[in-house]
Chain A
Amino acid sequence: MNWYFIIFSAVKVAMVIGAVLTMVAYAVLAERKISAWIQDRVGPNRCAPPFAKYIPFVGTFLTRIGFFQPMADGLKSILKEDFTPAGVRKIYFWLAPALSVIPAILVVAVIPFGSQIGAQKMVIADLNVGILYTFGIVSLGVYGLVLAGYAANSKYPMFGGIRSSAQMISYEISMGMSVIPVLLIAGNLNLSRIIGWQAAHGWMVIYAPVSFIIFLTAAFAETNRLPFDLPEAETELVGGYHTEYSSMKFALFFLAEYTNMIASSGMMVTLFFGGWTLPFWGLDHSAGEFAGTQALLMGVAHILVFLVKMLVFMVLFIWVRWMFPRFRYDQLMDLGWRRFVPLALANILVTAIILWMKS
């Protein structure tokens, strides 16, 4: 085993996890702020450490936009009493938060978040079966929720857990099938090569718009976001599967939800919107094709492009949450099985026929 490989991988893993956790913290802030704006409110604007007013020029502004709020939120989650109700099944109760966070973070491993910096590819694991790995890991995410619902030994979490299992399994089918036309068109499972194909031919969303719509909807369902948040459903199930959780364990479910959002935003950018490429300013060429300082600059620019594209999707996730009411359970199943599964199948068929006629 090459030592350089291990060291650089470790550095990349540390950087990516750091970036993802920071993004989660600020996604929660964005959620609160955007919901406030949509509902004609102001949102968190008070939280400030004592030194905030000594920051020149922007100190007050940062406080007003709630810049320091995530730190207070994180601190609160750690310091709160970690209460374990009397009737819970303890082992599963402790296991469930971990089981929902781990798959969420693992998905990020295969997403190429940039081209190259130096000789290092900006992806943790450049797997040849990247997309299959993603679906494999994503389907593990449901265990965390079901286990949480079962472990709590109370009725509302149980409902939430059962709903989540039904919902996530249903939508995984249409999600998986929606990606097949993309793979047919690009002719590869490796996410880096799919991005390479898009750099050469144009963004996948132009070639497979139906796939994108199904994938987007299924991504909302998979991440338990409104209008598909039946497992949580605050208004009917109290808090759904995480009703009995408090403190850091609750925060871990939160973390998992937002990490899932980040991961699926990353997947959508990678599969349909050209990943780290932009079709102008030479940004569609890998940084490896440049030399010296320019290579480094391009490498950084690619990461920034990827982040900006991802942020657009994150904002869409949040925006949609404050726009739609929740689906009824039967409507959810109807949409999943009777609309999206046939649509996805037809989509595969049509794409395959067109590709066959062309060849």
Chain B
Amino acid sequence: MIVNRKPLTFWERLYLPAIAGGLKVTLRHAWRTLFRGKVVTMEYPEQKWAVPTDYRGAPYLVKDQEGNTKCVSCQLCEFVCPPKAIRITPPGESGKLADRPNAEKMPEEFEINFLRCIYCGLCQEVCPEEAIFLLKDYSLTGQSREEMIYGKEKLLALGGTHGGIQKWKHKLEEAKAQDNFPVKI
């Protein structure tokens, strides 16, 4: 497509109308910013954006409504994690038992390296226990590399309590209910 340019008139070629237009626009913006306080920027540490509900922030471990660790150390998240940011140390055969009845085990140690984490959300998606969630935190800083590897206690403290299914509690209830089941031999 050929767009024919209109030749500029003498008045336009003097640059003067363009200069006046430029002065007007810039003055209008400066006036708005100065006297009406209309700025497009945000003064970050004091003001913050409202993070959308589906935002994928930092993955943290959560506790159930009774304060128990939900993670059962199945290591699915560790295996699925694309940048290998998660490292789980299972309790082992004679390790500590889970802090709630009927749950098989809980992690001895659970580390997320936030220098590696890419906030993809696969750990949250794969977790069968709803134990790990990408919460809204987006500004993680530290002064050393070691500081950016978050341990189990820290992750649990940051994650807080999370309502939701309590699979092993219900399993226990079911089992107890089955005690009264008339069994015929």
Interface residues on B, range: 10 to 19
Decide yes or no whether B30 CB sits under 8 A from chain A. yes
Measured between beta carbons, the chain B residues less than 8 angstroms from A330 are: none
Decide yes or no whether A322 CB sits under 8 A from chain B. yes
Decide yes or no whether A319 CB sits under 8 A from chain B. yes
Which of A5-13, A35-43, A129-137, A280-288 binds B? Answer: A35-43
A117 to chain B, nearest CB (A): 36
Measured between beta carbons, the chain B residues less than 8 angstroms from A323 are: 22-23, 25-26
A109 to B40 Cα, complex, angstroms: 44
A342 to chain B, nearest CB (A): 14
Measured between beta carbons, the chain A residues less than 8 angstroms from B22 are: 323-324
B180 to chain A, nearest CB (A): 69
Decide yes or no whether A34 CB sits under 8 A from chain B. yes
- Contact residues of A between 313 and 338, Cβ < 8 Å to B: 319, 322-324
Measured between beta carbons, the chain B residues less than 8 angstroms from A324 are: 19, 22
Decide yes or no whether B43 CB sits under 8 A from chain A. yes
Measured between beta carbons, the chain A residues less than 8 angstroms from B34 are: 37
A348 to B34 Cα, complex, angstroms: 43
Do A37 and B30 touch across chains, with their CB atoms under 8 A apart? Answer: yes
Do B30 and A38 touch across chains, with their CB atoms under 8 A apart? Answer: yes
- Contact residues of B between 1 and 50, Cβ < 8 Å to A: 19, 22-23, 25-26, 29-30, 32-34, 38-41, 43
A324 to chain B, nearest CB (A): 6
Do A39 and B29 touch across chains, with their CB atoms under 8 A apart? Answer: yes
Do B29 and A42 touch across chains, with their CB atoms under 8 A apart? Answer: no
A42 to B41 Cα, complex, angstroms: 7
Do A319 and B39 touch across chains, with their CB atoms under 8 A apart? Answer: no
Chain B residue, CB-CB nearest to A217 = B15
B26 to chain A, nearest CB (A): 5
B24 to chain A, nearest CB (A): 10
A45 to B46 Cα, complex, angstroms: 13
Number of chain A residues whose Cβ lies closer than 8 Å to a Cβ of chain B: 13
- Contact residues of A between 7 and 53, Cβ < 8 Å to B: 34, 36-42, 45
Partner of B41, one of A34, A38, A40, A322: A40
Measured between beta carbons, the chain B residues less than 8 angstroms from A319 are: 23, 26
Chain A residue, CB-CB nearest to B45 = A46
Chain B residue, CB-CB nearest to A46 = B43
Measured between beta carbons, the chain B residues less than 8 angstroms from A36 are: 33
Do B26 and A40 touch across chains, with their CB atoms under 8 A apart? Answer: no
B154 to chain A, nearest CB (A): 30
A319 to B19 Cα, complex, angstroms: 12
Measured between beta carbons, the chain A residues less than 8 angstroms from B41 are: 40-42
Measured between beta carbons, the chain A residues less than 8 angstroms from B23 are: 319, 323
A104 to chain B, nearest CB (A): 27
What mask results when residues 39 to 73 of chain B are scored 1 for a CB within 8 Å of chain A, else 0? 11101000000000000000000000000000000
Q: Please give the residue numbers on chain B whose beta carbons come within 8 Å of chain A beta carbons, in ascending order.
A: 19, 22-23, 25-26, 29-30, 32-34, 38-41, 43
| 9 extra A-B contacts, CB within 8 A, seeds A41-B33, A322-B26 | A37-B29, A37-B33, A40-B40, A40-B41, A41-B39, A42-B33, A319-B26, A323-B25, A324-B19
Instruction: Pull 17 A–B residue pairs with CB atoms less than 8 Å apart, ordered by A.
Output: A34-B30, A37-B30, A37-B33, A38-B29, A38-B30, A40-B33, A40-B39, A40-B41, A41-B33, A41-B39, A41-B40, A42-B41, A319-B23, A322-B26, A323-B22, A323-B26, A324-B19
